[in-house]
Amino acid sequence: VLVSTSAPRAGILVTGTEVLTGVITDRNGPWLSERLRDLGVDAAVIEIVGDRPEDLAGALEHMRADGMTLIVTSGGLGPTADDLTAEIVARFCGREMFVDEALSERIDAIVRPLMARWPDVDAEAVRVANIKQATVPRGATVLEPVGTAPGLVVPPADGATGPTVVVLPGPPGELRPMWDVAVATEPFRSAIAGAPIYRTALMRLFGMPESEIAESLRAAEAGGLALDDLEITTCLRRGEIEIGTRFEPDAQPDYDRLVAYLAERHGALLFSPDGSTVDEQVATLLSDRTIAVAESCTAGLLAARLTDRPGSSAYFLGGGVVYSNAAKTDLAGVDPALIERVGAVSTEVAEALASGIARRFGASLGVGITGIAGPDGGTPDKPVGTVCISVWRHDRLTGDAGTFETRRMRLPGNRTDVRERSVTIAMHMLRETLTGDGSG
Amino acid sequence: VLVSTSAPRAGILVTGTEVLTGVITDRNGPWLSERLRDLGVDAAVIEIVGDRPEDLAGALEHMRADGMTLIVTSGGLGPTADDLTAEIVARFCGREMFVDEALSERIDAIVRPLMARWPDVDAEAVRVANIKQATVPRGATVLEPVGTAPGLVVPPADGATGPTVVVLPGPPGELRPMWDVAVATEPFRSAIAGAPIYRTALMRLFGMPESEIAESLRAAEAGGLALDDLEITTCLRRGEIEIGTRFEPDAQPDYDRLVAYLAERHGALLFSPDGSTVDEQVATLLSDRTIAVAESCTAGLLAARLTDRPGSSAYFLGGGVVYSNAAKTDLAGVDPALIERVGAVSTEVAEALASGIARRFGASLGVGITGIAGPDGGTPDKPVGTVCISVWRHDRLTGDAGTFETRRMRLPGNRTDVRERSVTIAMHMLRETLTGDGSG
């Protein structure tokens, strides 16, 4: 694992009591962190504070003390008196505030047509608000407003050292378009001078515990692979393991060897050596086929996931949410005697759902899911979490009889966990069927 | 607005490089902030740091310097060597680490059955991992594992002052159940001693812009209502306006008057004066009825939402995901000539879907949704975002012909926004039908 010590470091400071108290979910911190990473700059911290000026100033001081060369703030640029970010940053950078008259006029030109929609608004209050937003630190670079608030790039006072502060508005729709403009300014480039150029890459695995990956990386190193120049992060998400790696261009051969090693060691479990998602892969693989689904315990979640992508109507024909036994028979043609004999949660019924729904819609693939999501409905034989999934496909050899891939499993977690995990497993079973098969 | 100055303050410290780099979205920081608020403790900061030990230690020191009496951490309790939170917190609190043998055995008892699913896993590596997770600061209170990681409540060393640190695991499914246990411990209670006792209450409105609420609050004050002792936060979430209020018990009459005022002013738009969700209300209202749904653009999302709650099989009979026109006819009995004449996205087809799917399943209520989620498929007459929703119900007066409530609307946003908003509107239409009707 590579730790960069001399590289520039950045801090992200998100302001706003609504964000701090959980009323609004912060989307700026992670987004800014990713953008900085693209530039080769590690965010060392994301800090969220409320609208108290002393908390904002304190956070800036901590970041300076920790040696940040760049600080990016979001929020607190509105027209009201408690929007204090610009003023506090000016003081932090040792710069005085002044009214930028030309900027005030540009803000006025933006605000005037908006105001026409609310004839009762007090014109004097609007003028005061515009002047407030046009009051900026002397020597700062102004980033033109996307909404009504200008952004700022504020370098340390002349002759002083310390971080450059990029001040951006809170609404993501205003912050994001300003980012590239901020990055292009001279003080921003200076603040991140010396940042290495990184490449980033992602792999995904399915069907093994996360601890196995740590073991594989140890084995790779023991086997002579050079991993020192690869910065590897593993993470379990929606039942899949994601391996993210960042490296300088020189280390590309090391990374390629790691991918080859993991592909050899884990075979098909490394379903995505290139970072593509199972959803993308299934969508591509379905391009010349058609699919229908019959869902009991997942109740539409697989259909919703398969249609999440634009253009899915080309291959997704329809689905049945077959919660009751009558619905299983009515929509997917499952024989009531079969349900009577083996129970609704069984591999046999999953198969009957898969083939039945495919036939009903004339699809070349069908998926059937039946299970007990809980918390009630479990039995000693079929405890909560028991789920049966079957993928049926029309087959070149067996024709309309088709072939099945069917699994029965017991999934951990609560009702939501069982439902979501079932859908993910169904997506992977679909992927395997579509890659491994000889269907026509 | 009430500002508490002498009250204890807390810091929230979220750890994990995946969270810092934006790979995972942090859900713990805002959740913990809300829980602290319920206890009368303001979180002064949420800080997100990576897995670098010095960043974690530095953040703790900053929080101590800023006078926090309580620090809550999430993450870094896993079995691998870079999970260092417990050790760093021990050092911060001036406590040594030791292996809690009894805890190690309890973790072993949790892990052993899980390991049985992966027969190839190295038993020695598992043993080492269990001991790592059972190594805790001496004098800390152990919070029993929900997954495999125990949580901790770590007071300052004997005789020392400083914050008490609550150490929780990163996965929200493990962190949340541990919270109440942590709150009940003696060191936690001591750390927040002096916090005011607040009551919190929530109201929900649907079908009006958020700015209307600010106006209503101004009008309430102008009309003589006392709001000074109510700390009111409004927020637009999933298309609904949430009004959260925090107050000391003495202000209960003020709050009751506010609720009455808003109920009078906004009528049925204040669908939830008690904070209950539309999902809860619909589930209760459906108790003696049955429902089936036919979904085109939402493709199973409404069925999934209606079955999200345990026990929903009592009223939810089934659904059809009717993406193609053939599916609309086949599953919900929509006349192909009708689709030909008015188009698949039309109030007429929404009604035919609603009544057709109800008849098919013998349900007393049916919902039909058809629309253009985009990004493609829009026309000048029916642009992207056009959605038609109909709720059909069996009616005491009209019998099997039933009655409809049908709406055509144009929703803003991207594909996901349109799909999710459609489902929320359908839930509210269902609620209105179920409260306002005379169906049998």
What residue in A sits closest to B9 (Cα-Cα)?
A55
Confidence at residue B79, expressed as pLDDT on a 0 to 100 scale: 81
User: Which token pair is A280?
Assistant: 């993308």
Detail the DSSP E strand segments found in B100-239. Answer: 135-137, 141-143, 151-154, 164-168, 199-206, 231-237
- The residues, any chain, with a CB within 8 Å of residue B326's CB and separated by 6 or more, are A317, A318, A361
Interface probe with A: pick from B20, B35, B305, most Cβ of A within 10 Å? B20
Sheet of A365-371, strand order: A399-410, A386-395, A365-371, A291-295, A316-321, B316-321, B291-295, B365-371, B386-395, B399-410
pLDDT at A5: 47
Cα atoms in the Cβ-side hemisphere of radius 13 Å centred on A14? 31
Which residue is associated with the tokens 């291959």? A315
Closest partner CB to A233 (pick from B18, B42, B49): B18
What pLDDT does A119 receive? 61
Q: Do B22 and A44 touch (CB under 8 A)?
A: no
* Chain-chain contact of B22 with A45 (C-beta, under 8 angstroms): no
Are B239 and B424 in contact by the 8 Å Cβ rule? The answer is yes
Angle at B7 between CA B4 and CA B13, to 5 degrees: 105
Q: What residues 248-287 of chain B have any CB closer than 8 A to a CB of chain A?
A: none
Q: CB A21 to CB B33 under 8 A? A: yes
Among the partner residues B46, B320, B376, nearest to A48 by beta-carbon distance: B46
> Is A323 close to B302, i.e. CB distance below 8 A?
no
Q: What is the identity of the amino acid at B192? A: I
State how far the Cα of A150 lies from the Cα of A76, in Å rounded to an integer.
11
The answer, yes or no, to whether residue A437 has pLDDT greater than 50, is no
**What is the structure's pLDDT at B237?**
79
Is residue B350 within 8 A of residue B369, CB to CB? The reply is yes
Q: pTM of the predicted model, to two decimals?
A: 0.80
Indicate the DSSP class of residue A220: H
Give which of B406, B299, B292 is closest to B360, Cα–Cα. Answer: B292
CA angle at A305 for the pair A300 and A311, rounded to the nearest 5°: 120
Chain segment A273-313, per-residue pLDDT in tens: 999 999 999 999 998 899 999 999 999 999 999 999 999 99
Which pLDDT tens digit goes with each residue over A6-18?
579 999 999 988 8
Q: Which residues contact B392 (CB under 8 A, 6 or more apart)?
A: B351, B354, B355, B358, B365, B366, B367, B368, B402, B403, B404
User: How many CA within 13 A on the CB side of residue A378?
Assistant: 15
Min distance A195 CA to chain B CA atoms (Å): 16
Contact A324 B310 (CB under 8 A): no
- Residue A334 CB contacts under 8 Å (≥ 6 apart), including other chains: A322, A328, A349, A352, A353, A356
A110: its two tokens? 């933006």
Q: Whose CA is closest to A48, among A73, A82, A65?
A: A73
HEC letters along B43-88 = EEEEEEECCCHHHHHHHHHHHHHCCCCEEEEECCCCCCCCCCHHHH
pLDDT attached to residue B238: 78
DSSP letter for each residue of B226-266: --TT-EEEEEEETTEEEEEEEE-GGGHHHHHHHHHHHHHHH
Confidence of residue A120 (pLDDT cuts 50, 70, 90): low
3-class secondary structure, B334: coil
Q: Within the 195-254 window of chain B, which residues sit less than 8 Å (CB to CB) from chain A?
A: 233, 235, 244
Position A49 pLDDT exceeds 50: yes
Q: What strand order describes the sheet that includes B240-247? A: B199-206, B240-247, B231-237
Query: Length of chain A, please?
Result: 440
Confidence of residue A233 (pLDDT cuts 50, 70, 90): confident
Q: Are B134 and B108 in contact (CB under 8 A)?
A: no
Average pLDDT over residues A20-26: 84
Which residues 325-364 in chain A show a CB within 8 A of chain B? 326-327, 330-331, 360-361
Phi, psi of B358 (to 5 degrees): -65, -45
B80 interface with A at CB cutoff 8 Å: yes
Task: Tell me whether the omega of the peptide bond preceding residue B375 falls within 30 degrees of 0, making it cis.
Answer: yes
Name the band, by pLDDT with cuts 50, 70 and 90, for residue A4: very low
Q: Which tokens go with A210?
A: 């996360």
Check residue A438 and give its pLDDT.
38
Cis link prior to A145 (omega < 30° from 0)?
no
Work out whether the CA dihedral B220, B224, B226, B228 comes out positive or negative.
positive
- Write the single-letter amino acid at B179: W
Q: Cα(first)–Cα(last) distance of chain A, in Å?
A: 47
| Mean of per-residue pLDDT scores for chain A | 91
Q: Which regions of chain B are under pLDDT 70? A: 1-6, 117-120, 437-440
CA atoms of B439 and B394, how far apart (whole Å): 6
Indicate whether A2 pLDDT > 50: no
A302 touches chain B (CB under 8 A): yes
Query: Does residue A440 surpass a pLDDT of 50?
Result: no
pLDDT tens profile A336-370:
999 999 999 999 999 999 999 999 999 999 999 99
Q: Residue A188 corresponds to which tokens in the numbers above?
A: 């921003």
CA separation, residue A142 to residues A13, A183, A405 (Å): 19, 13, 61
CB A130 within 8 A of CB A123: no
Q: Which of A24, A11, A16 is nearest to A62 (CA)?
A: A11
| Encoded tokens for B372 | 């253009």
State yes or no: pLDDT of A139 exceeds 90.
Answer: yes
- Given a cut of 90, is residue A412 above it in pLDDT? no
Q: How many CB atoms lie within 10 A of CB A248?
A: 16
CA distance A396 to A430: 17
